[in-house]
Amino acid sequence: MIEELIKILNRENIEWEIYWEIGRGSSFKIEKCELERAQRKYHSGIGLRVGYKGKQGFSYITGINHSKEDLERFVKKTIKLARVGEVKFYGFPEKKPIKKVSGIYDKRIAELEFEEALSMGRGISQKESELREKYGSNYTFSGRLAFGVAKDGIANSNGIELEEESTGMSFSVYVVKKDEKTGTGDYYKASRSMMDFEKELEVGLEKALQEAELSYKAKPMGAFEGEIVLEPHSVASVLELFISNLKGDNVYHKRSRFTRVGEKVASESFTLIDDATLEGKIVSYSFDGEGNPGQRTVLVGNGILENFLLDETYARLLGMKSTGNAVRDFRTPPHIGTSNIIVEGEEENLEDFEGVVIKKVFGEHTANPISGDFSLTIELGYIVKNGELIPFKDNMFVGNVFEFMNSIAAVGKKKEELGAFISPRVLGLGKIV
């Protein structure tokens, strides 16, 4: 059917791009040790962009099995949207060599029967029930488990025609300890390949329980200003504000603090990388949502801004080249996103750090990414003193993201994966109120 659509488009005096998806997924929700929901979903559809006399039209259809007449109406509708619309068109990518990224498809996930997946969901429920019996009724256990397989494809009038199949698996557990106080802990893991699930479940529940115990004992600490270590979860929250300033659309529309590469934007001890080519990682891909190659992009190298995150449109508008960061589904035109984000830099053994450590914060969506000012609620932190952990929470971590980036003295040697975010601990200057 894609071939038929291409034939129809080639008869028109337009530039065109087709993006299609076919996929299915299974998901399971466990609440209070009970398997509350088990479902399987299928999705498929085609997104069509056309360029006509300097303007762009976009529309989509669900499903991939359509009659020739339906496809012709689909094309006519999208061309009409370009004629009457006001969205400017800057062109589609040219065909380029694509290097296949390995490890993003696992046959074991693709061929997993629903009943097999369901038994794994029940396994979470059973294990959590055992733990609740062991620890008591003031503990509540919840979790989620999901599997998916998808085939994505893209073709355009410049000769690009690509298709890639990928798989994914994720699970999370959440623990609440509650009587006169409340403590919470969670764990999340995602993978392109089938995990050793029993082992990961044991690890996840143990870590979530440890975190819940710390959270339960935590109370607000006194005000503090000085050296602070951020664990990867809180590093991700702070960097969310910073990365917003690296997106090409924000740079072009002057919604970014930065205007050009070559600026000093962080400490020399800090490096930030976006890498879609990592083997087996959860947001690795061979080509992006426009057919440009996925690539490894050093965004900040030893404190110097080296690249912005770019799709085809904003690369052209800024006089640069796409970094392969167009993300989308068939229902939307492409927009700029990230792949796997990696933090590197001048390493120290921060595992032995004694002082203030912030494990988790929330509220980054309320911060101003252009000014960089933030005030984040500390969900969990702790003070390490003579090897002892003294937990705290409900304080505010306040400051300015650009000042914090320039204060970074070192990063840890041990990296942790949080989905597509890969980071060690980070040591910098901060303020807690």
Is pLDDT of 350 > 90?
Answer: yes
Which of 217, 248, 280 is the last residue in one of the domains? 217
Please indicate, yes or no, whether residues 110 and 95 belong to a single structural domain of this protein: yes
Residue 42 is part of which domain span? 2-217
Q: Quick check: 129 and 139 in contact, CB under 8 A?
A: no
Q: Give the pLDDT score at 366.
A: 83
Is pLDDT of 1 > 90?
Answer: no
Q: What is the pLDDT of residues 19-63, one digit of tens each?
A: 999 999 999 999 988 999 999 999 999 999 999 999 999 999 999
β-pair type (326-327, 335-336): antiparallel
Please indicate, yes or no, whether residues 265 and 368 belong to a single structural domain of this protein: yes
Is pLDDT of 387 > 90?
Answer: no
Q: Quick check: 101 and 287 in contact, CB under 8 A?
A: no
Is pLDDT of 369 > 90?
Answer: no
Please indicate, yes or no, whether residues 293 and 382 belong to a single structural domain of this protein: yes
Q: How confident is the model at residue 146 (pLDDT cuts 50, 70, 90)?
A: very high
Q: Cα dihedral sign for 52, 53, 56, 59?
A: negative
Mean pLDDT of the chain: 96
Q: Give the pLDDT score at 311.
A: 98
Domain count, the chain: 2
Cβ neighbours of residue 163 closer than 8 Å, sequence gap 6 or more? 151, 152, 153, 154
Other C-beta atoms within 10 Å of 171: how many?
24
Please indicate, yes or no, whether residues 134 and 151 belong to a single structural domain of this protein: yes
Q: Which of 329, 377, 384, 375 is nearest to 357 (CA)?
A: 384
pTM to 2 decimal places: 0.95
Please indicate, yes or no, whether residues 264 and 324 belong to a single structural domain of this protein: yes
Please indicate, yes or no, whether residues 211 and 250 belong to a single structural domain of this protein: no
Which of 217, 237, 272 is the last residue in one of the domains? 217
Which of 217, 239, 266 is the last residue in one of the domains? 217
Give the least confident one: 248-257, 296-305, 366-375, 399-408: 366-375
Please indicate, yes or no, whether residues 212 and 269 belong to a single structural domain of this protein: no
Please indicate, yes or no, whether residues 229 and 164 belong to a single structural domain of this protein: no
Please indicate, yes or no, whether residues 228 and 213 belong to a single structural domain of this protein: no
